[in-house]
Amino acid sequence: MIRYLFVSLMFIHGLIHLMGFIRAFGYGVANQISGEISRFNGMFWLAATLLFMLASILFLLKNESWLWVAILACIISQILIITLWKYAKFGTIANVIIVFAVLAGTAGKAVQIIFRD
């Protein structure tokens, strides 16, 4: 159950980043973000979206690469959140939860390696 909640968190967080891309390119109305986003930055908002979605899929497939994809997505996400802090600050909560999950996953792998026969 928690596994699916976590995947949902990553996926939805990624979809929220899509609003930055939409705002930058004027593809629709993203009233939640009133700040100006350049097209260049819009591409990073799209990259964060795709990376969170990829991390979600890899996590469900139990592919260990999800850790690296998720951490890259969180780094990009947090930089973007800082640039529009007034509108996006609550995204930091999702990033912190995801980073803690990455750290837990990494710690679990380290324990397996250390205690391997």
Q: Which residue has the higher pLDDT, 10 or 113?
A: 10
Give the angle subtended at the CA of 116 by the CAs of 115 and 117, to the nearest 5°.
115
Question: Tens digits of per-residue pLDDT, 44-91?
Answer: 999 999 999 999 999 999 998 999 999 999 999 999 999 988 888 999
Dihedral pair phi/psi, residue 31, rounded to 5°: -65, -20
What is the structure's pLDDT at 4? 92
pLDDT at 70: 96
Amino acid (one-letter) located at 11:
F
Q: What span, in angstroms and rounded, lies between the C-alpha atoms of 99 and 114?
A: 22
**How many other C-beta atoms are found inside a 10 Å radius of the C-beta of residue 56?**
23
Q: Give the pLDDT score at 34.
A: 67
In terms of residue numbers, what domain contains 13?
2-114
Q: What is the pLDDT of residues 1-55, one digit of tens each?
A: 888 999 999 999 999 999 889 888 888 776 666 678 889 999 999 999 999 999 9
Domain count, the chain: 1
CA angle 79, 70, 102 (to 5 degrees): 110
CB contact burial 65-99 (16+ within 10 A = b; e otherwise) = ebbebbbbbbebbbebbeebeebbeebeebbeebe
In angstroms, the Cα distances linking 34 to 13, 80, 85, 86, 88 are 19, 14, 11, 9, 10
At residue 117, does pLDDT exceed 60?
A: no
Amino acid identity of residue 72, one-letter, is: L
pLDDT attached to residue 27 = 82
pLDDT of residue 31: 65
